[in-house]
Amino acid sequence: MTIQRINPDTMHKNPAFTQVATVTNPSKWIFVGGQNGVDATGKVVGKDIGSQTEQAYKNVITALEAAGATLNDVFKMTIYLVEGQSLQAGFAAVQKVHQTQPQPVAPPTVSMMMVAGLANPDYLIEIEAVAVV
């Protein structure tokens, strides 16, 4: 079994976590760590759930691509949404990103949890993904 940890150059770097990891045995499993609505410098992109969801989802895509996968390789996503935020607004942002993809996106299994807060009080959403190629 081989584990590879990847921190794409176009994403925020933090010594406390890896952005994406793969496990090869014989399939390659890809685990994308919780992505927030931050840009490559670590700056939160907006104060609304729509802009943060769009960026977090784009970060998931960037991490997947760095590991040799696409959204269609994802079979499980976990979404943490801060209480009081609109699930519908977040879903609309995800659909906006889906429309920019080169092929239709097959929906993965999804678990969504409402939480009191995340690691940074400005974060409104966090998205994890598991893929296999």
* The token pair that represents 33 in the structure block: 């760590």
How many angstroms separate the CA atoms of 126 and 97, rounded? 16
How many angstroms separate the CA atoms of 39 and 45, rounded? 6
Task: Record the pTM.
Answer: 0.89
> Residue 16 half-sphere exposure, CB side, CA atoms within 13 Å?
2
User: Coil, helix or strand for 35?
Assistant: strand
* The token pair that represents 84 in the structure block: 């009081």
Q: To which H or E segment does residue 93 belong?
A: helix 87-98
pLDDT in tens, the chain (133 residues): 788 889 999 998 887 788 898 888 889 999 999 999 999 999 999 999 999 999 999 999 999 999 999 999 998 999 999 999 999 999 999 999 999 999 899 888 899 999 999 999 999 999 999 999 9
Residues 6+ apart with CB under 8 A from 15: none
